[in-house]
């Protein structure tokens, strides 16, 4: 997921991958783009649940939710399921893992159904604080 995102965004941004084993909850990457700084938590699930069930994400921890919520604007959750990509701000990200596909599609800030994120759209989303 990170390799795909890095390829899409190219030189439009400066992003750093984080793997912090000491502090808990820190998102996967920090970024700077058009004088805006932020953080993105990356989550990838192989498939949507059957029969419109809740998409549970066991590796989305309470520490990650709290970290994003307390830091507020500029913190994002980017979720990839099958070929769909959805982005959530720090508030809507609190509900991820508790909703169905239909509900997630309604509460996300933006979605790319069956396609990769568009660099121009993603830049616009990340910089519209």
Q: Is 11 left (phi over 0), alpha (psi -120 to 50) or beta?
A: alpha
What's CA 119's distance to the chain center, in Å?
14
Cα–Cα distance, 24 to 6 (Å, whole number): 24
Cβ pair 112, 84 in contact under 8 A: yes
**Start-to-end C-alpha separation, the chain:** 24
CB neighbour class for 34 (10 Å; exposed up to 12, middle 13-18, buried from 19): exposed
Task: Please list the pLDDT of the chain residue by residue as tens digits (129 residues).
Answer: 898 988 889 898 999 898 777 778 899 999 999 989 999 999 999 999 988 899 999 999 999 999 999 999 999 999 999 999 999 999 999 999 999 999 999 999 999 999 888 899 999 999 985
Q: What's the angle, vertex CA 37, arms to CA 36 and CA 40, rounded to 5?
A: 125
Domains located in the chain, CATH noted: 2-127 (3.40.1350)
Does the model's pTM come out above 0.75? yes
Q: Which of 114, 78, 119 has the alpha carbon at shortest distance from 96?
A: 78
């Amino acid at each position: 997921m990170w390799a795909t995102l890095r390829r899409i965004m190219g030189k439009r941004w400066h992003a750093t991958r984080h793997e912090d084993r000491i502090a808990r909850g820190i998102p996967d990457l920090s970024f700077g783009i058009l004088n805006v700084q932020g953080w993105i938590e990356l989550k990838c699930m192989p498939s949507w649940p059957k029969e419109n069930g809740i998409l549970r994400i066991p590796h989305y921890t309470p520490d990650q939710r709290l970290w994003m919520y307390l830091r507020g604007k500029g913190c994002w959750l980017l979720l990839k399921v099958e070929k769909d990509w959805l982005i959530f701000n720090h508030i809507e990200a609190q509900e991820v893992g508790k909703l169905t596909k239909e509900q997630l599609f309604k509460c996300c800030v933006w979605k790319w159904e069956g396609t990769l994120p568009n660099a121009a759209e993603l830049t616009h989303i990340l910089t519209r604080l």
